[in-house]
Amino acid sequence: MNGDDELRAVVNACRTDPRVLDGLATIFRDVDERVARMGTACMGGGCCCRFALAGHRLYVSTAELAFLLSGDPPVRPAAGPLECPFQQGPACRARNRRPLGCRTFFCRGDQAAQTELYESAHTQIRQLHTSLDVSYMYAELTAAITAVDCRRGVGTSTSGHQ
């Protein structure tokens, strides 16, 4: 089984496992509450979602990708490399299912606190994978979405997991 096939199989299994989805939802609720206490807020411009323009990459775990893809498919299924397919104008069409990196990154705010929050929550996500015996992979978001192809469950390109 190649990397894309393995990623696709694990993500598709996670998408139907309520233990994975509920566990991640619990972690994300805690993250959202901690972000609110930090006083950081999204300005809603969407610049951070244009990864090539912003000069960064968004990586997700297997469970995060399953959580993100557990709802409606992307609004732009043919989005290019390093373009979030859930972004429509400045709005995120998967806001309630967005990955950890989206929840903890803000263009304005205490970068050290954001990093600390990300690392703490990411540790919990790794522990969730371990406790549920779910294969952990860490992949660049846009390549992983293409590999899993959430519309049909069939991959078409190479994921960037490490």
List the chain domain ranges: 3-148
pLDDT above 50 for 84: yes
pTM to 2 decimals?
Answer: 0.84
Q: How far is CA 81 from the centre of its chain?
A: 15
Q: Over the chain, what is the mean pLDDT?
A: 83
* SS3 at position 138: strand
What is the pLDDT at residue 49?
A: 73
Region for residue 19 given its phi and psi (left: phi exceeds 0; alpha: psi -120 to 50; beta: otherwise): alpha
Question: Tell me, what's the pLDDT at 21?
Answer: 96
Strand intervals (E) in the chain? 59-61, 87-88, 91-92, 138-140
pLDDT of 20 strictly over 70: yes
Burial class (CB in 10 A: 0-12, 13-18, 19+), 73: middle
CB atoms within 10 A of CB 90: 12
Q: What gap in Å lies between CA 137 and CA 129, rounded to an integer?
A: 10
pLDDT at 91: 83
56 confidence band (pLDDT: 50, 70, 90): confident
Maximal C-alpha separation, the chain: 45
